Amino acid sequence: MSLEGVHLDRGFFQFTTPYSWLSWIFWVIGLLMVVAGLATFLEGGGIIAAFGFLLIALLSPASLETDLHNVRKNAPQPDDLETDALKNGYELESWFFGRSSYSPTNDPNDWILPAPGPSTWNQDDRYAADGDGTPLPEHPTKVGTPIPATFATFGLSMVLFILFLSISLGMLVLDEKAMVDNGEMLAEDATMKYTPIIMSIIGLIWLLLGFFQHKRQQQMIDTPTSLVRSVAVGSAELVGQVRPAPEQWINVVVDGNHNRVIPGCVDYRWEYEVYVCRKVTSTDSDGNTTTREECNWQSVRSDHGYVPFMLHDGTGGIRVESSSFKKKDLGNYVKRWTSSHADTLRDHFQTEFAARLFRNGDVRKHRWTAYALRIGNPVYLLGMVKPRSKEEMAQENLDGTVGHTAISVHGENSPGMKANIQRGTELANLGKIRSSAELLIMPIVCILCGISMFALI
């Protein structure tokens, strides 16, 4: 399995469509909203068209995402990795108690190309190279660095969303201004006059968020990836596979329940939440009272943990001190359990009592969500490579004659580089990003539309 036929440099524009049937349904609904909005534009259909474009944008994958998804779906996975993997999909564990579990069937942070399974690893020397010492199939030195399209369906649709929304809101501002001028409305009752300020503020916040995301992405694209066998002391970018260090791994028991186990973790985080619903009563200016139900998830407790691990890129293994990294992205959750009841009567009554006391509501559901970096997973990191002490190497019976056995990776920042760990290879992480133009141009368009609307007031 290879990336033959997949162009990693997407050029200026890439038309993308969803790759899942559920996303396709809502994508088509968005398209129908656009058509209906354009047909009734003069009667106020511009807002419908605008939100149709928004729906299309949110459901359109990044320029590389669909091709990489198809490669991942068709790539054969080693049997020994499948044996240790979590069962994917939905599983009903108890109909009576409303208990079920779900592991995502599509993991955008998983391997795209086949990775070596545990049966092929060198069990005697975790630092040794695999086979002939060539990098893993998905290593950046083999596949290159992907470059997203300057504009994709997402970017074009978002710009159209902003423009159509601005035009529609501008028409409402003019209508309200005309009502004030004709004496049909008091000036203090006019609310649309704040629209330009709100749009400008939203655009400014959006631009700041886009700028910082652009900086993170650009750092990943611009930083050359080192090979473990030749990595030097100092800041480095490494990509490889998670393998066990002498400390081995953690079999995580989520919230103390042995029916909820995530095996083979080197880094994990789980959260227990309850779904609380309450009645909210409101009274309008005419004295009419309405009651609605308001529901949201509330966090009850959580936990996290980690152990050091080996990053192996095919040319050799290097020790990673996971505890020293403050920024970690474990990707999508690996498993989620839901239930109509808590694990124990004590937990059930405690959460119910807290919901009624503090929120005047009641608990409808419970869920436990686990995120993890596991043995065999792909990993990308930026960190500081530092020499190991003689005492450390002596504990592993290492003499330091092989360069990468005498160094380890730590989560220390350096000028222009923020140390972090991400589940997934560089290809997987860059394959789902938006271009710098999409991150920066769209909020600028939003700001300009907001500023231009000041002329209508």
Tens digit of each residue's pLDDT (9 = 90 or more) over 192-245: 777 888 888 998 999 999 888 888 888 888 888 999 999 999 999 999 999 999
Task: List, in sequence order, the alpha helices (H) in 9-145.
Answer: 21-39, 46-59, 65-74, 79-84, 140-143
Q: Give pLDDT tens digits for 19-48.
A: 888 899 999 999 999 999 999 887 878 899
Closest CA to 405 of 227, 226, 229: 229
Q: What is the bridge-based pairing of β-strands 151-152 and 13-14?
A: parallel
> Rounded mean pLDDT of 337-365?
69
CA 189 to chain CA mean position, Å: 42
- Report the C-alpha gap between 40 and 45 in whole angstroms: 5
> What is the pLDDT at residue 82?
46
280 vs 60, which has greater pLDDT? Answer: 60
Q: How many residues does the chain have?
A: 457
> What is the pLDDT at residue 432?
80
Do 266 and 373 touch, CB atoms closer than 8 A?
yes
Q: Give pLDDT tens digits for 70-128.
A: 887 776 665 445 444 566 666 766 655 577 887 787 788 888 888 888 888 988 889 99
Q: Which residues contact 221 (CB under 8 A, 6 or more apart)?
A: 145, 147, 430
- Report the C-alpha gap between 276 and 266 in whole angstroms: 33
Q: Which two tokens stand for residue 168?
A: 């529609």
Q: Give pLDDT tens digits for 148-174.
A: 888 889 999 999 999 998 888 888 777
Do 421 and 322 touch, CB atoms closer than 8 A?
yes
Average pLDDT of every residue of the chain: 84
> What is the pLDDT at residue 316?
93
Kind plus residue range of the DSSP H or E element containing 446? helix 436-452
Q: What is the pTM of this model?
A: 0.81
Q: Which two tokens stand for residue 385?
A: 């490579």
> Rounded mean pLDDT of 427-451?
86
Q: Which two tokens stand for residue 119?
A: 């049966």
pLDDT value at 252 more than 90: yes
> What is the pLDDT at residue 221?
82
Do 430 and 217 touch, CB atoms closer than 8 A?
yes
Residue type, 425: T
Q: Which residues on adjacent β-strands are paired with residue 361?
A: 278
| Confidence band of 250 (pLDDT split at 50, 70, 90) | very high
Q: Which two tokens stand for residue 167?
A: 């035009």
Q: What is the bridge-based pairing of β-strands 261-283 and 234-244?
A: unpaired
Residue type, 371: Y
> Rounded mean pLDDT of 341-365?
66
